[in-house]
Structure 1
Protein backbone atom coordinates (compact mmCIF):
# COMPACT_ATOMS: atom_id res chain seq x y z
CA UNK A 1 0.00 0.00 0.00
CA UNK A 2 2.29 2.78 -1.16
CA UNK A 3 -0.39 5.07 -2.69
CA UNK A 4 2.35 6.56 -4.89
CA UNK A 5 3.40 9.02 -2.19
CA UNK A 6 6.91 10.36 -2.80
CA UNK A 7 9.52 8.69 -0.60
CA UNK A 8 10.70 12.04 0.76
CA UNK A 9 7.14 12.97 1.77
CA UNK A 10 6.57 9.58 3.37
CA UNK A 11 9.80 9.93 5.38
CA UNK A 12 8.80 13.44 6.43
CA UNK A 13 5.43 12.21 7.73
CA UNK A 14 6.98 9.25 9.57
CA UNK A 15 9.58 11.56 11.13
CA UNK A 16 6.95 14.16 12.11
CA UNK A 17 4.87 11.45 13.81
CA UNK A 18 7.86 9.98 15.64
CA UNK A 19 7.85 6.71 13.65
CA UNK A 20 4.73 5.65 15.55
CA UNK A 21 1.03 5.34 14.85
CA UNK A 22 -0.50 8.72 15.63
CA UNK A 23 -3.54 7.02 17.19
CA UNK A 24 -2.32 4.02 19.20
CA UNK A 25 1.45 4.72 19.43
CA UNK A 26 2.42 1.37 17.84
CA UNK A 27 5.66 1.22 15.88
CA UNK A 28 4.64 -1.91 13.95
CA UNK A 29 3.25 -2.06 10.40
CA UNK A 30 3.38 1.69 9.79
CA UNK A 31 1.57 3.15 6.79
CA UNK A 32 0.70 6.65 5.60
CA UNK A 33 -3.00 7.52 5.49
CA UNK A 34 -4.70 10.34 3.55
CA UNK A 35 -6.99 12.10 6.03
CA UNK A 36 -8.99 13.63 3.19
CA UNK A 37 -9.02 11.00 0.42
CA UNK A 38 -7.53 12.03 -2.89
CA UNK A 39 -10.86 11.29 -4.52
CA UNK A 40 -12.38 14.02 -2.35
CA UNK A 41 -9.72 16.62 -3.11
CA UNK A 42 -7.01 15.61 -0.65
CA UNK A 43 -3.41 15.58 -1.83
CA UNK A 44 -0.09 14.14 -0.77
CA UNK A 45 0.76 17.20 1.33
CA UNK A 46 1.99 16.35 4.84
CA UNK A 47 -0.92 18.50 6.08
CA UNK A 48 -3.20 15.74 4.77
CA UNK A 49 -1.13 12.69 5.74
CA UNK A 50 -0.85 10.81 9.02
CA UNK A 51 1.12 7.77 10.16
CA UNK A 52 -1.10 4.85 11.15
CA UNK A 53 -0.31 1.24 12.02
CA UNK A 54 -1.90 -1.38 9.78
CA UNK A 55 -4.66 -2.01 12.36
CA UNK A 56 -5.68 1.66 12.70
CA UNK A 57 -5.31 2.21 8.94
CA UNK A 58 -7.59 -0.70 8.14
CA UNK A 59 -10.07 0.56 10.72
CA UNK A 60 -9.93 4.08 9.22
CA UNK A 61 -11.12 2.54 5.95
CA UNK A 62 -14.02 0.78 7.67
CA UNK A 63 -12.41 -2.66 7.70
CA UNK A 64 -11.34 -3.26 11.32
CA UNK A 65 -9.06 -6.26 11.83
CA UNK A 66 -10.56 -6.94 15.26
CA UNK A 67 -13.81 -6.28 17.12
CA UNK A 68 -13.92 -2.80 18.62
CA UNK A 69 -16.64 -0.35 19.61
CA UNK A 70 -14.74 2.47 17.85
CA UNK A 71 -16.22 3.44 14.50
CA UNK A 72 -14.43 4.48 11.31
CA UNK A 73 -15.98 7.94 11.78
CA UNK A 74 -14.35 8.21 15.21
CA UNK A 75 -10.99 7.17 13.73
CA UNK A 76 -11.40 9.81 11.01
CA UNK A 77 -12.20 12.45 13.63
CA UNK A 78 -9.14 11.45 15.68
CA UNK A 79 -6.95 11.84 12.58
CA UNK A 80 -8.31 15.33 11.90
CA UNK A 81 -7.81 16.32 15.54
CA UNK A 82 -4.23 15.02 15.53
CA UNK A 83 -3.30 17.12 12.50
CA UNK A 84 -5.21 20.14 13.78
CA UNK A 85 -3.35 19.96 17.10
CA UNK A 86 -0.01 19.48 15.35
CA UNK A 87 -0.35 22.34 12.89
CA UNK A 88 -2.47 24.73 15.01
CA UNK A 89 -3.02 27.61 14.68
CA UNK A 90 -2.08 27.46 10.99
CA UNK A 91 -3.98 24.31 10.04
CA UNK A 92 -7.20 24.91 8.15
CA UNK A 93 -8.00 22.10 5.72
CA UNK A 94 -10.79 24.13 4.17
CA UNK A 95 -8.59 27.12 3.26
CA UNK A 96 -8.25 27.65 -0.46
CA UNK A 97 -5.06 26.05 -1.73
CA UNK A 98 -4.27 24.24 1.54
CA UNK A 99 -4.09 20.84 -0.12
CA UNK A 100 -1.79 21.83 -2.94
CA UNK A 101 1.44 19.90 -3.22
CA UNK A 102 3.48 22.86 -4.17
Structure 2
Protein backbone atom coordinates (compact mmCIF):
# COMPACT_ATOMS: atom_id res chain seq x y z
CA UNK A 1 0.00 0.00 0.00
CA UNK A 2 3.02 2.33 0.26
CA UNK A 3 5.67 3.59 2.64
CA UNK A 4 6.05 6.57 4.93
CA UNK A 5 9.18 8.26 6.24
CA UNK A 6 9.13 8.69 10.04
CA UNK A 7 11.02 11.65 11.47
CA UNK A 8 12.07 12.05 15.06
CA UNK A 9 10.84 15.09 16.99
CA UNK A 10 13.93 17.02 15.79
CA UNK A 11 13.09 16.25 12.11
CA UNK A 12 15.94 13.74 11.71
CA UNK A 13 15.10 10.61 9.68
CA UNK A 14 14.28 7.68 11.95
CA UNK A 15 12.88 4.87 9.79
CA UNK A 16 10.40 3.93 7.09
CA UNK A 17 7.12 2.20 7.82
CA UNK A 18 3.87 1.21 6.15
CA UNK A 19 1.08 3.72 5.48
CA UNK A 20 -1.11 1.77 7.92
CA UNK A 21 1.36 2.12 10.80
CA UNK A 22 1.93 5.81 10.05
CA UNK A 23 -1.83 6.43 9.95
CA UNK A 24 -2.26 4.75 13.35
CA UNK A 25 0.50 6.94 14.86
CA UNK A 26 -1.21 10.07 13.51
CA UNK A 27 -4.71 8.89 14.49
CA UNK A 28 -3.56 8.12 18.07
CA UNK A 29 -2.02 11.61 18.22
CA UNK A 30 1.55 10.31 18.56
CA UNK A 31 2.71 11.98 15.34
CA UNK A 32 1.86 14.80 12.95
CA UNK A 33 1.73 14.67 9.17
CA UNK A 34 4.60 16.73 7.72
CA UNK A 35 3.84 15.91 4.09
CA UNK A 36 0.83 14.36 2.37
CA UNK A 37 1.23 11.77 -0.39
CA UNK A 38 -0.07 12.47 -3.86
CA UNK A 39 -1.10 8.81 -4.21
CA UNK A 40 -4.66 9.23 -2.94
CA UNK A 41 -6.38 9.16 0.42
CA UNK A 42 -7.21 6.71 3.19
CA UNK A 43 -10.91 5.96 3.27
CA UNK A 44 -13.02 4.38 5.96
CA UNK A 45 -16.74 3.66 5.81
CA UNK A 46 -17.61 7.15 7.04
CA UNK A 47 -14.49 9.34 6.64
CA UNK A 48 -11.60 10.22 4.37
CA UNK A 49 -8.12 11.02 5.69
CA UNK A 50 -5.03 12.42 3.97
CA UNK A 51 -2.46 9.75 3.12
CA UNK A 52 0.84 10.60 4.85
CA UNK A 53 4.17 10.59 3.05
CA UNK A 54 6.26 12.00 5.94
CA UNK A 55 5.28 12.08 9.63
CA UNK A 56 7.05 13.52 12.70
CA UNK A 57 6.81 11.95 16.15
CA UNK A 58 5.65 14.14 19.05
CA UNK A 59 8.19 12.67 21.47
CA UNK A 60 11.90 12.30 20.79
CA UNK A 61 13.05 8.68 20.42
CA UNK A 62 16.64 8.11 21.54
CA UNK A 63 18.45 5.47 19.52
CA UNK A 64 21.66 4.15 21.09
CA UNK A 65 23.11 2.98 17.75
CA UNK A 66 22.04 4.65 14.54
CA UNK A 67 24.17 2.93 11.97
CA UNK A 68 24.03 0.14 9.44
CA UNK A 69 24.93 -3.28 10.79
CA UNK A 70 27.75 -5.06 9.00
CA UNK A 71 26.18 -8.18 7.51
CA UNK A 72 26.48 -10.28 4.40
CA UNK A 73 23.15 -9.04 3.04
CA UNK A 74 24.03 -5.37 3.70
CA UNK A 75 27.38 -5.77 1.87
CA UNK A 76 25.45 -7.23 -1.10
CA UNK A 77 23.02 -4.29 -0.96
CA UNK A 78 25.82 -1.74 -0.78
CA UNK A 79 27.47 -3.28 -3.84
CA UNK A 80 24.24 -3.53 -5.84
CA UNK A 81 24.20 -7.35 -5.75
CA UNK A 82 27.03 -7.55 -8.28
CA UNK A 83 30.62 -8.72 -8.29
CA UNK A 84 32.92 -5.77 -7.69
CA UNK A 85 35.52 -7.27 -10.03
CA UNK A 86 33.56 -8.41 -13.10
CA UNK A 87 29.95 -7.27 -12.57
CA UNK A 88 28.41 -10.77 -12.42
CA UNK A 89 25.15 -11.12 -10.48
CA UNK A 90 25.13 -14.90 -9.87
CA UNK A 91 26.99 -17.12 -7.40
CA UNK A 92 27.90 -14.19 -5.15
CA UNK A 93 30.03 -14.41 -2.04
CA UNK A 94 32.09 -12.04 0.09
CA UNK A 95 35.76 -11.25 -0.54
CA UNK A 96 38.28 -9.63 1.78
CA UNK A 97 40.12 -6.95 -0.23
CA UNK A 98 43.16 -7.47 2.00
CA UNK A 99 42.97 -11.23 2.67
CA UNK A 100 42.46 -12.35 6.28
CA UNK A 101 45.63 -14.44 6.05
CA UNK A 102 47.51 -11.15 5.56
CA UNK A 103 45.86 -9.29 8.43
CA UNK A 104 42.68 -8.15 6.69
CA UNK A 105 39.70 -7.61 8.97
CA UNK A 106 36.00 -8.12 8.34
CA UNK A 107 34.93 -4.50 7.99
CA UNK A 108 32.88 -2.27 5.67
CA UNK A 109 36.04 -1.01 3.98
CA UNK A 110 37.64 -4.45 3.52
CA UNK A 111 34.68 -6.58 2.37
CA UNK A 112 33.22 -6.56 -1.16
CA UNK A 113 30.77 -8.66 -3.12
CA UNK A 114 32.51 -11.08 -5.49
CA UNK A 115 31.38 -13.95 -7.66
CA UNK A 116 32.88 -17.33 -6.81
CA UNK A 117 35.00 -17.29 -9.99
CA UNK A 118 36.64 -13.92 -9.22
CA UNK A 119 37.04 -14.79 -5.54
CA UNK A 120 38.90 -17.98 -6.48
CA UNK A 121 40.97 -16.19 -9.15
CA UNK A 122 42.00 -13.43 -6.71
CA UNK A 123 42.83 -15.97 -4.02
CA UNK A 124 45.27 -14.76 -1.37
CA UNK A 125 46.27 -11.60 -3.27
CA UNK A 126 45.23 -7.97 -3.13
CA UNK A 127 43.22 -6.68 -6.13
CA UNK A 128 46.33 -4.84 -7.38
CA UNK A 129 48.53 -7.94 -7.13
CA UNK A 130 45.91 -10.02 -8.94
CA UNK A 131 45.40 -7.37 -11.66
CA UNK A 132 41.69 -7.18 -10.73
CA UNK A 133 40.72 -3.58 -10.00
CA UNK A 134 37.58 -2.94 -7.96
CA UNK A 135 34.63 -1.27 -9.68
CA UNK A 136 34.04 0.86 -6.55
CA UNK A 137 36.02 1.47 -3.42
CA UNK A 138 34.22 -0.15 -0.46
CA UNK A 139 32.86 2.37 2.05
CA UNK A 140 30.85 2.27 5.25
CA UNK A 141 27.32 3.49 4.42
CA UNK A 142 25.65 6.03 6.67
CA UNK A 143 22.21 5.39 8.13
CA UNK A 144 20.71 8.07 5.84
CA UNK A 145 22.32 6.48 2.76
CA UNK A 146 20.86 3.13 3.75
CA UNK A 147 17.34 4.56 4.16
CA UNK A 148 17.60 6.52 0.92
CA UNK A 149 19.03 3.78 -1.26
CA UNK A 150 17.13 0.72 -0.05
CA UNK A 151 13.63 1.79 0.79
CA UNK A 152 12.54 1.22 -2.79
CA UNK A 153 10.82 4.19 -4.37
CA UNK A 154 11.85 7.50 -2.78
CA UNK A 155 9.05 10.01 -2.56
CA UNK A 156 9.85 13.57 -3.66
CA UNK A 157 8.78 14.77 -0.19
CA UNK A 158 11.52 12.64 1.44
CA UNK A 159 14.43 14.27 -0.40
CA UNK A 160 14.78 17.21 1.97
CA UNK A 161 15.26 14.76 4.87
CA UNK A 162 17.30 12.03 3.13
CA UNK A 163 19.16 13.99 0.48
CA UNK A 164 18.83 13.63 -3.26
CA UNK A 165 20.79 11.02 -5.17
CA UNK A 166 22.41 12.23 -8.40
CA UNK A 167 21.32 10.31 -11.49
CA UNK A 168 24.92 9.32 -12.32
CA UNK A 169 25.81 8.46 -8.72
CA UNK A 170 26.89 4.90 -8.04
CA UNK A 171 24.91 2.94 -5.48
CA UNK A 172 26.83 3.96 -2.35
CA UNK A 173 29.01 6.90 -3.28
CA UNK A 174 27.79 10.33 -2.27
Q: TM-score, normalised by structure 2?
A: 0.35
**Structure 1 unaligned regions, length at least 5:** 1-6, 63-70, 88-102
Higher strand share: 2
CA distance in 1 between partners of 2:105 and 2:78 (Å)? 17
Aligned residues: 68
Does structure 2 conserve the Cα–Cα contact (< 8 Å) formed by 1:32 and 1:51?
A: yes
Alpha-carbon distance, 1:28 to partner: 0.6
Greater Rg by CA: 2
Higher relative contact order (CA 8 A, sep 6+): 1
In the alignment, which residue of structure 2 is the partner of 1:74?
A: 131
CA distance in 2 between partners of 1:15 and 1:56 (Å)? 19
In the alignment, which residue of structure 1 is the partner of 2:15?
A: none
**Structure 2 unaligned regions, length at least 5:** 1-68, 140-174
Does structure 2 conserve the Cα–Cα contact (< 8 Å) formed by 1:9 and 1:46?
A: no
Alpha-carbon distance, 1:8 to partner: 4.9
Alpha-carbon distance, 1:18 to partner: 0.3
Alpha-carbon distance, 1:72 to partner: 6.0
CA distance in 1 between partners of 2:71 and 2:109 (Å)? 11
In the alignment, which residue of structure 1 is the partner of 2:32?
A: none
The Cα RMSD (Å) is 2.5
In the alignment, which residue of structure 2 is the partner of 1:27?
A: 89
Alpha-carbon distance, 1:54 to partner: 1.0
Higher helix share: 1
Tell me if 1:18 matches 2:72.
Answer: no
